[in-house]
Amino acid sequence: MALCMGLGLSIGAMTPAWADSGASGQALVGLPDFTPIVKQYGPAVVNISTTETRVARGVTSPFPPNSPLNQFFAPFFGAPGQPGAPGGGAGQKYQVQSLGSGFVISSDGYIVTAAHVVKGAQKIIVSLTNHHQYAAHLVGLSARMDVALLKIDAKNLPVVQIGDSSKLEVGQWVLAVGSPFGFENSVTQGVISATSRPLPDDPYIPFVQTDVPINPGNSGGPLFNMRGQVIGINDQIYTNSGGYMGLSFSIPINVAMDAVKQLKLHQKVHFGWLGVMIQDVSMDLAKSFHMKEPVGALVSQVVPDGPAAKAGLRPGDVIVSFDGQAIYNSGQLPPLVGVLPAGFKAKLGVIRDGKPMSLNIVVESLPGNLENTVESAASGGPAQEGEVKRLNVQVGPLTAEARKQLHVNTGVLVLGVGVGPAAEAGIRPGDVILQVAQQQITNAADLQKLVAALPAGQPIPVLVRRGEGSFYLVLSLPH
């Protein structure tokens, strides 16, 4: 009581320095009031609960079935007789329940959420703020775009207002409504930290980055601007703890609604495609490709018969502009291309061997068969081995089956890597060396001869295939 009184007296007797608003007598920045948005559009935000049936994969306890220690480790491995439990359980079915959020986009029951909230669910329940619950039907989803469209049998529902995410600016106030940890219709606020932010696992989505507190259960909920318009779908956080740590990412509503339109028509969501694998240009790579600055998207792989191959693009080319827009890093390119329709014609600004050039390319639709992975480049084992002493590596030829899997006609398989330049560059056993200094490698003798003639102390680009992808490393040979 005394403490409260003391603070009250001090506050009443003082005039804070920040209260002086200058000669105009008005504050430069006013704090926002979010209550009108919550009152008008909060009822259109829904809670989504799902039930999914899974099959145990047989994760077992390290203790014998009759060990008393199993009672302490049951939460991690399952109790005896349960999925994944000691003494059995592999192959058994069990149910997993999860929570998420969504929002109503039409009064007749169409609801938008994130695909990962409902993917694989056998049962989807939508709860409104008036406590009415409905079984939802999944109209369609795009896992790559992480957008899903649901339908419930209801009428005269409250709906949100859709905004325009292309007009977002860094520093704008935004508001998130959702069900973090199951706490329905929780409201959090913050500002836009960045726009068009690509993430490694979602290259086609130009995310809106904010500092709005988002936690598990917020996924699929709306991100509002100060006009009460939905400008994003809350989707991801960057975290080491599993909870919010200051970085939240939302799918721009323009991108999401484009996918929703296709899902509503029961169409497969289209993505523009160039048929290349790309990577950022480091300072060392820029030097090795005779570039003045480390900018652009370095082409490390070109899909045979794809749009890039037809346009004449090659591994080692650096894309510095697309359809008149400058490309400063590899993350910029996929979102630009992904939203374009098949048949769209664009100009590529390219640097090849340090010289600028222009190529014409026609965008195609992303094929549905690009999820195949190559397990091993060494299928069947090498027939002969060769040692490249200057790199301190052992290499061997690729089998015909490995070449077919990797879609390559050249290259040698790295069998072993010792201490030396190759290891320092990041080359590993199992890698396939495709090019060195932009010269194709056919066999160990080619590699030995080429490496012997390379200058010392200069950055040399090395193109390697690792698993299903190709990328460049920088090699520097000692004097």
Would you give per-residue pLDDT tens digits along the chain (479 residues)? 333 333 333 333 334 444 444 445 666 666 788 999 999 999 999 999 988 776 665 555 555 555 555 554 555 555 545 554 444 455 666 666 778 999 999 999 999 999 999 998 889 999 999 989 999 999 999 988 899 999 999 999 999 999 999 999 999 999 999 999 888 889 999 999 999 888 877 788 889 999 999 988 999 999 999 999 999 999 988 877 777 788 999 999 999 999 999 999 888 888 898 999 898 998 989 988 888 889 999 998 888 889 999 999 999 999 999 999 999 988 889 888 988 888 999 999 999 988 999 999 999 988 864 433 222 333 333 334 578 888 888 888 877 777 777 777 788 888 888 888 888 888 888 888 998 988 888 888 888 888 888 888 889 899 998 877 888 999 988 87
Residue 146 appears among annotated catalytic residues: yes
- The answer to whether 159 and 105 are in contact (CB under 8 A) is yes
Residue 219 appears among annotated catalytic residues: yes
- The answer to whether 110 and 151 are in contact (CB under 8 A) is yes
* Coil, helix or strand at residue 189: strand
Residue 193 appears among annotated catalytic residues: no
How many beta carbons lie within 10 A of that of residue 366, not counting itself? Answer: 20
Active-site residue, selected from the candidate residues 61, 98, 142, 146: 146
Annotated binding site for substrate: which residue ranges?
Answer: 116, 146, 217-219
Give which of 409, 416, 421 is closest to 386, Cα–Cα: 416
Active-site residue, selected from the candidate residues 186, 219, 250, 470: 219
Task: Copy the structure tokens of residue 458.
Answer: 């200069």
Kindly state the helix (H) or strand (E) to which residue 333 belongs, with its residue range.
helix 333-338
Provide CATH 2.30.42.10 ranges for the chain.
272-365, 386-476
Give the integer Cα–Cα distance in Å for 170 and 192. Answer: 5
> Into which CATH architecture does domain 161-264 fall?
Beta Barrel (2.40)
Provide CATH 2.40.10.10 ranges for the chain.
161-264
Give the integer Cα–Cα distance in Å for 318 and 353. Answer: 9
At the topology level of CATH, where does 386-476 sit?
Answer: Pdz3 Domain (2.30.42)
What CATH number should be reported for the domain whose range is 272-365? Answer: 2.30.42.10
Helix locations, 89-175, DSSP H: 115-118
